[in-house]
């Protein structure tokens, strides 16, 4: 049984208020906006991103998305189809050339760089293929980092970090540096770090791409468990079968387009 | 606060490179801390007129006073070594020219029983090896009164005609007639200061003669010399020239948009005669004794390193006092104009910004220190650029997890500052340790030593932080532009 996060309800209310009358037709529900869970936590409206490398490459091409709070979204597609680019736009790491991303009622186009940084801190957790841990900080230090930037007290942050390290099963590795950890362990630290600020959305770009098959299953298991238990929304780019079983929303991208947008029934 | 922690961890993490930066800063701070004793000099031509008039860059006189006083038994010491002189003419050195109040307030002189003359040969021997001192020669002066006893005070001044020509170019200052040449040695000829007329004194025209009365020189049985003003002897000199010693220009604005200026002069009542003639005069008033010097003139190799010459002199002649002409002039100027002003309105005279002059003292020590600091700061900055560039990815991660641009700037500035300060403190401690020891062994009070240490520390820390911030800004802002996208790049 799926536990709906508190966040999702709050978000729904706020998005409704925020977008009423402001967006006009541009903010009308997208092709799959009308679903059973109310207002989506993450929406994109005609999102475009192009790179100009001699010729213009549309890495993300007119993407309209609506992702419900608590969904486990899997993004698949061939290499170069724009998955990473889309993810970076969703997380506010990069700016689109046109279109809008709305996360929990906040329109990215209305935020400056610091506003985006704050939004990332509060609402978004990232997990990368190359774990991207800070090498000279311990596992615990790495997990604490986003909270520290959010200005929390050291004690509060420490407790939360321990809690998360326990969640990913690394309590006994808290004092180790990344170089002293295996790939799987590093990725689990990265996951803990992504979750530390209780983000509404966790974005993961090929989180198991660098891991062996056995470790992959472990990561998949953690993602599934977190998604079920906390109701956080997961958006995962992966070709990994492990995630296919977990996903209740699958996007297949080709050449920047969403070629297939499949909302599965809950299981 | 995270960025502070990160910054300090980063310092420790790149220890090798950090050490380089630290050493560079340590050297700079070392030099700055010791700069109080490092050479300070003046530009080549500064205070030229004053130096030419006095005939040297440094004045040396034998003033090591020993204060006497009543002994425990109540009886005064047999040798009360100090007397208080009130007659300006008694001072056979130039101090009253720089410190006019001495003329009114009197000044301390050696009393009897202390040698008041300089053993020139001994001094020259002791200074043989010193490099900064170029030439040392005696200063000739005798009390004198123009127009006979009771006339205006016009000290007789024996000039070294050779040096006046070749070093001081006193002929450049001639306003009428000509200056003394070596051909005049032994002749009863004189050069006077034309500017004295401005002060209401009689200045004999070129071609006339001037009569100067000189007191007799007596010697006590113990050898002490004194002047007997009751037995004066007159000498007549032919005036062959007049000079004027321009020092600087006082320029002031005159509303609405004009300006006015006045050339200032160093003026002196002294009557310049050739040194050989002077010695002849001295023999006649002293009953055949040779001249005994009370002041020596030192010409240095280079005014820019005059401090080095001073150090050498103090080491070689511990029982004498040495002062630089440039310092004396600077000091006198700081207390108001030592030169007479005739046109400039009184309110502009005290304004230092209005004095256009050649002789602005140039403090080379701080300039060198600043240069060293700049180099050190650039080493630190270059290191930081390398360090932070190798951390692009990491900074991208920080951005991705919510660090603002400001956080990154602060982090890098903190790191730069920590490195620089660390180095500066090392350099400071090294020097300050020695300096404190020196101060304490010279019986300087603890409170004062503490204060000096704190002031020095404040200066070093201040300059270091300023440099760190200025030079840290470049790497900091460069890295603040790194976007969170960096973390996705290396797939
Ligand atoms: N920074 C960039 N500069 C130029 N082209 C880029 C950049 N990032 C991505 N692209 C291009 O955009 C397209 C989509 O890339 P990406 O989103 O990384 O695909 P995926 O993650 O699905 O493999 C590719 O053609 C890629 O070459
Ligand atoms: Mg990719």
B25 neighbors B419 (Cβ within 8 angstroms): yes
Average pLDDT of every residue of chain B: 77
Q: What value does the mean pLDDT take over residues B171-181?
A: 94
pLDDT confidence of residue B100: 63
What pLDDT is attached to residue A148? 76
Q: Structurally, what CATH architecture does the domain formed by A8-263 represent?
A: 3-Layer(aba) Sandwich (3.40)
CA distance A114 to B399: 10
* B246 beta partners: B265
Task: Name residues whose C-beta falls within 8 Å of residue B438's C-beta, 6 or more positions apart in sequence.
Answer: none
Q: Which of A149, A192, A197, A203 to mutate to test the interface with B (most CBs of B within 10 A)?
A: A149
Q: Is the beta carbon of A238 within 6 A of some atom in ligand 1?
A: no
Spatial separation of the C-alpha atoms in residues B142 and B136, rounded to whole Å: 20
Residues of B in Cβ contact (< 8 Å) with A120: 400-402, 484
Collect all residues with Cβ–Cβ distance below 8 Å to B450 and sequence separation of at least 6.
Answer: none
Q: What phi, psi does A245 have (nearest 5°)?
A: -70, -30
Instruction: Locate all alpha helices (DSSP H) within B131-274, ordered by sequence.
Output: 161-166
What is the reported pLDDT for B488? Answer: 64
Helix, coil or strand: residue B356? strand
pLDDT at B166 over 80: yes
DSSP state of A180: G
The answer to whether the Cβ–Cβ distance between A117 and B403 falls below 8 Å is yes
Ligand 1 nearest-atom number relative to CA B488: 18
> Quick check: CB of A53 below 6 Å from ligand 1?
yes
Whether the predicted pLDDT of A25 surpasses 50: no
What phi and psi, each to the nearest 5 degrees, are found at residue B361?
-65, 135
Higher pLDDT, B389 or B354: B389
Residue of B488, B489, B490 to mutate, interface with A, max A Cβ within 10 Å: B488
Instruction: Please say whether the beta carbons of B427 and B33 come within 8 A.
Output: yes
Residue B212 belongs to what H/E stretch? strand B209-219
Q: How far apart are CA B49 and CA B359, in angstroms?
A: 10
b/e burial code for range A227-237 (CB count within 10 A of at least 16 → b): beebbbbbbbb
Inter-chain CB pairs, A–B, below 8 Å? 80
Is the minimum CB–CB distance between A146 and chain B shorter than 8 Å? yes
pLDDT in tens, A190-235: 888 888 888 889 998 888 887 787 788 888 888 888 888 888 899 9
The residue to mutate among A79, A80, A253, having the most atoms of ligand 1 within 8 angstroms of its beta carbon, is A80
Question: How many A from CA of A209 to the centre of ligand 1?
Answer: 17
Q: Is the CB of A56 under 6 A from ligand 1?
A: no
Render pLDDT for B266-281 as a digit per residue (tens, 0 to 9). Answer: 888 899 999 999 999 9
Min Cα distance A73 → chain B (Å) is 20
**CA-nearest residue, atom 18 of ligand 1:** A84
Residue A227's nearest CA partner among A16, A9, A3 is: A3
A120:B1 CB<8 A: no
Strands A249-254, A72-76: pairing is: parallel
pLDDT at B356 over 70: no
Per-residue pLDDT tens digits for B27-71: 877 777 766 433 456 767 778 888 998 899 998 876 544 343 343
The residue assigned the tokens 């010697």 is B219
Q: Which of B402, B483, B489, B490 to mutate to test the interface with A (most CBs of A within 10 A)?
A: B402
Tens of pLDDT, residues B7-23: 777 777 777 777 877 88
The model's confidence at residue B284, banded by pLDDT at 50, 70 and 90, is very high
Q: CA gyration radius for chain A?
A: 18
Instruction: Over range A138-154, report the average pLDDT.
Output: 81
Q: Among partner residues A122, A148, A205, which is closest to B488 by beta-carbon distance?
A: A205
- A97 pLDDT above the threshold of 60: yes
Contact call for B404 and A114, based on CB within 8 A: yes
Q: Rounded distance, CA B333 to CA B325, Å?
A: 12
- Residue length, chain B? 491
Query: Distance (Å) from the C-alpha of residue B402 to the closest C-alpha of chain A?
Result: 5
Q: Do A120 and B397 touch (CB under 8 A)?
A: no
pLDDT of B205 higher than 90: yes
In the predicted structure, residue B156 carries a pLDDT above the cut 60: yes
Q: pLDDT at position A73, please?
A: 92
Residue B312, classed as helix, strand or coil, is helix
Q: Does A198 touch chain B (CB under 8 A)?
A: no
E strand intervals along B255-399: 258-266, 271-274, 296-300, 321-324, 355-356
- Give the DSSP H or E segment for A254: strand A249-254
In the predicted structure, residue A77 carries a pLDDT above the cut 70: yes
Q: Is the pLDDT of residue B105 over 60?
A: no
């Amino acid at each position: 049984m799926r536990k709906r996060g508190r966040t999702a309800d709050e978000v729904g209310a706020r998005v409704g208020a925020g977008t009423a009358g402001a967006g006009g037709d541009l903010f009308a529900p997208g092709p799959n906006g009308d679903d059973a869970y109310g207002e989506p936590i993450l929406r994109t409206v005609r999102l475009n991103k192009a790179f100009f490398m001699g010729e213009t490459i549309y890495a993300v091409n007119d993407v309209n998305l609506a992702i419900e709070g608590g969904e486990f979204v899997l993004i698949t597609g061939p290499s170069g189809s724009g998955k990473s680019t889309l993810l970076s736009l969703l997380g506010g790491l990069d700016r689109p050339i046109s279109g809008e991303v709305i996360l929990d009622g906040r329109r990215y186009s209305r935020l400056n760089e610091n506003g985006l940084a704050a939004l990332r801190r509060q609402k978004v957790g990232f997990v990368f293929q190359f774990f991207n841990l800070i090498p000279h900080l311990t596992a615990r230090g790495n997990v604490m980092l986003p909270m520290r930037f959010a200005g929390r007290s050291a004690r509060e942050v420490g407790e939360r970090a321990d809690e998360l390290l326990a969640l990913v099963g690394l309590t006994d590795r808290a004092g180790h540096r990344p170089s002293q950890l295996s790939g799987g362990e590093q990725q689990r630290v990265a996951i803990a770090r992504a979750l530390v600020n209780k983000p509404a959305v966790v974005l993961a770009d090929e989180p198991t791409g660098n891991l062996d098959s056995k470790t992959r299953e472990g990561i998949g298991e953690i993602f599934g468990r977190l998604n079920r238990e906390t109701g956080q929304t997961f958006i995962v780019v992966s070709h990994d079968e492990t995630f296919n079983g977990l996903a209740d929303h699958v996007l297949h991208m080709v050449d920047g387009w969403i070629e297939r947008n499949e909302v599965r029934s809950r299981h | 606060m995270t960025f502070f922690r990160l910054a300090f961890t980063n310092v420790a993490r790149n220890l090798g490179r950090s050490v380089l930066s630290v050493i560079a800063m340590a050297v700079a701070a070392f030099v700055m801390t010791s700069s109080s004793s490092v050479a300070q000099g003046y530009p080549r031509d500064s205070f030229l007129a004053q130096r030419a008039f006095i005939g040297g860059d440094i004045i040396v006189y034998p003033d090591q006073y020993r204060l006497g006083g009543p002994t425990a038994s109540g009886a005064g010491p047999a040798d009360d070594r100090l007397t208080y002189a009130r007659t300006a003419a008694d001072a056979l050195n130039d101090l009253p020219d720089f410190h006019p109040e001495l003329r009114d307030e009197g000044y301390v002189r050696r009393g009897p029983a202390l040698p008041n003359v300089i053993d020139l040969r001994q001094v020259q021997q002791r200074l043989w090896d010193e490099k900064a001192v170029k030439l040392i020669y005696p200063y000739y002066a005798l009390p004198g009164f123009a127009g006979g006893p009771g006339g205006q005070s016009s000290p007789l001044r024996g000039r070294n005609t050779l040096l006046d020509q070749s070093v001081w170019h006193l002929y450049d200052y001639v306003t009428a007639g000509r200056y003394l040449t070596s051909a005049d040695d032994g002749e009863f000829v004189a050069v006077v200061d034309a500017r004295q007329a401005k002060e209401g004194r009689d200045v004999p025209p070129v071609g006339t003669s001037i009569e100067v009365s000189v007191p007799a020189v007596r010697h006590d049985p113990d050898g002490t010399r004194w002047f007997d003003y009751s037995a004066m002897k007159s000498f007549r000199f032919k005036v062959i020239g007049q000079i004027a010693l321009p020092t600087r220009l006082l320029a002031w604005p005159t509303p609405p948009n004009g300006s006015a200026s006045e050339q200032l002069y160093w003026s002196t009542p002294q009557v310049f005669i050739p040194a050989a003639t002077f010695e002849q005069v001295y023999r006649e008033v002293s009953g055949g004794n040779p001249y005994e010097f009370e002041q020596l003139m030192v010409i240095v190799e280079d005014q820019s390193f005059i401090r080095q010459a001073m150090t050498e002199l103090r080491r070689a002649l511990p029982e004498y006092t040495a002062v630089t002409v440039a310092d004396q002039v600077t000091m006198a100027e700081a207390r108001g104009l030592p030169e007479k002003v005739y046109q400039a309105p009184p309110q502009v005279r005290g304004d230092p910004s209005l004095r256009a002059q050649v002789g602005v003292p140039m403090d080379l020590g701080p300039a060198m220190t600043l240069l060293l600091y700049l180099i050190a700061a650039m080493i630190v900055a270059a290191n930081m650029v390398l360090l932070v560039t190798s951390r692009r990815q990491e900074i991208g991660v920080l951005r991705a997890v919510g660090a603002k641009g400001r956080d990154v700037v602060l982090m890098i500035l903190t790191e730069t500052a920590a490195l620089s300060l660390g180095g500066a403190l090392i350099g400071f401690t090294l020097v300050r340790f020695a300096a404190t020891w020196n101060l304490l062994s010279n019986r300087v009070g603890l409170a004062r030593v503490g204060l000096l240490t704190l002031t020095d520390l404040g200066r070093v820390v201040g300059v270091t932080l300023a440099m760190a911030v200025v030079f840290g800004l470049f790497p900091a802002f460069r890295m603040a532009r790194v976007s969170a996208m960096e973390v996705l790049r290396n797939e």
